[in-house]
């Protein structure tokens, strides 16, 4: 386990166009600005290379996927991470032979890729047609030892599942990161999930005594409005940094991992777990 105590985490929020180069440059600019303000782990939004193409089912979008090896956007952020000495969990549309995944590559502060997490929970509904594109992830949940703490990363729909957060905590995570692309519900225009989205993750923060860092995109794409509200919660569920529904920029917060570790131990959530009771006969 890492011995570093004080760390600074950031998450980027912005809109995206059809111009991949422009999108990558925009995210890179915010990474640099966040790093210059002291951020050490910097999280871009989900699938930031272009618009959220999963709004509709079109075979042409499979051409946007690339293998991990030699991925041009990943190479770009590897160079940037090494230059700035920061960690960047980079979301990308991954092709692995005949399979396609919604993935995150964990780029370390020396520019190396420490591994890939493939999204476990794949949504399917109006405006979020992800099952058309993505195979459910086969990596299992992941945590990574970095120069700035041991971090776990889930991707968007993963953030709604307490099992995902708890699994990463049991693997030793000291902070949870969630890149997202979420907004209005074309199938139910009267439903605004912004508060639900934040509450679900804040619940993970409280029940695991851990900081949660979540980012989203903003702007209107087709008939879908992405509501932003990227935020960072501390380990007691207080939002310590948040953007609104239109701002482009980043949220930033500093934490003392050793103080949080002691607070987590004193709450007793992990001491008092009854894993022997959690396997219900006949229930998956």
Here the contacts of 228-232 (C-beta below 8 Å, separation 24 or greater) are 228/13, 229/194, 229/197, 229/198, 230/11, 230/12, 230/13, 230/45, 231/11, 231/198, 232/9, 232/11
Q: Is residue 193 part of a domain?
A: yes
Encode pLDDT of 249-263 as tens digits.
999 999 999 999 999
Rounded to 10 deg, the angle between the 20-36 and 72-84 helix axes is 20
CATH number at residue 181: 3.60.110.10
User: How high is the pLDDT of residue 133?
Assistant: 98
Backbone angles phi, psi at 75, to 5 degrees: -60, -40
Q: Report if residue 1 sits inside a domain.
A: no
Cα–Cα distance for residue pair 195/214, rounded to 1 Å: 13
* Lowest-confidence segment of 100-109, 199-208, 271-280 by average pLDDT: 271-280
- 129 in active site: no
- Residue 14 annotated to the active site: no
Residue 92 lies in a domain: yes
Say which of 46, 94, 130, 221 is annotated catalytic.
Answer: 46
pLDDT at 36: 98
Q: Could you tell me if residue 279 is inside a domain?
A: no
Of 14, 49, 94, 119, catalytic: 119
Is residue 3's pLDDT more than 80? no
Tell me if 283 is assigned to some domain: no
What's the pLDDT score for residue 1?
44
CB neighbour class for 3 (10 Å; exposed up to 12, middle 13-18, buried from 19): exposed
pLDDT of residue 187: 87
**pLDDT reading at 183 higher than 80:** yes
Quote the mean pLDDT of the chain: 96
**Number of domains making up the chain:** 1
Supply the pLDDT for residue 2: 47
Answer whether residue 265 is part of any domain.
Answer: yes
Q: Give me the catalytic one of 14, 156, 164, 215.
A: 156
Residue 115 has pLDDT above 50, yes or no: yes
pLDDT digits (tens, 9 = 90+) for 119-165: 999 999 999 999 999 999 999 999 999 999 999 999 999 999 999 99
Give the predicted TM-score (pTM) of the model.
Answer: 0.96
Structural domain including 214 reads 6-274
Confidence of residue 90 (pLDDT cuts 50, 70, 90): very high
Task: Indicate whether 189 belongs to any domain.
Answer: yes
Residue 96 is assigned to a structural domain of this protein: yes
Q: Please determine, for residue 227, whether its predicted confidence score (pLDDT) is greater than 70.
A: yes
pLDDT band at 4 (very low <50, low <70, confident <90, very high): confident
Residue 284: pLDDT band (50, 70, 90) is: low
Catalytic-residue membership of 156: yes
């Amino acid at each position: 386990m890492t011995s570093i105590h004080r760390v600074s985490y950031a998450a980027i929020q912005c809109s995206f166009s059809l111009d991949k180069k422009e999108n990558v440059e925009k995210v890179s600019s915010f990474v640099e600005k966040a790093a210059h303000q002291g951020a050490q782990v910097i999280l871009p939004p989900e699938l930031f290379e272009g618009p959220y193409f999963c709004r509709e089912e079109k075979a042409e979008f499979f051409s946007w996927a690339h293998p991990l090896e030699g991925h041009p956007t990943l190479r770009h952020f590897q160079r940037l991470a090494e230059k700035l000495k920061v960690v960047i969990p980079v979301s990308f549309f991954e092709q692995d032979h005949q399979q396609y995944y919604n993935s995150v590559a964990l780029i370390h502060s020396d520019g190396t890729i420490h591994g890939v997490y493939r999204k476990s929970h794949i949504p399917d509904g109006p405006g979020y047609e992800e099952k058309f594109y993505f195979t459910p992830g086969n990596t299992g949940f992941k945590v990574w030892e970095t120069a700035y703490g041991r971090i776990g990363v889930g991707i968007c729909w993963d953030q709604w599942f307490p099992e995902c957060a708890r699994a990463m905590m049991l693997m030793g995570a000291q902070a949870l990161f969630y890149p997202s692309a979420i907004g209005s519900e074309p199938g139910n225009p009267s439903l605004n999930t912004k508060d639900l989205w934040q509450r679900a993750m804040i619940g993970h923060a409280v029940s695991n005594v851990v900081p949660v860092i979540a980012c989203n995109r903003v702007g209107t794409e087709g008939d879908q409005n992405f509501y932003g509200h990227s935020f960072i919660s501390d380990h007691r569920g207080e939002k310590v940094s948040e953007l609104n529904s239109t701002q482009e920029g980043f949220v930033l917060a500093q934490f003392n991992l050793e103080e949080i570790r002691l607070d987590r131990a004193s709450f007793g959530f992990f001491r008092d777990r009854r894993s022997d009771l959690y396997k219900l006969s006949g229930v998956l």
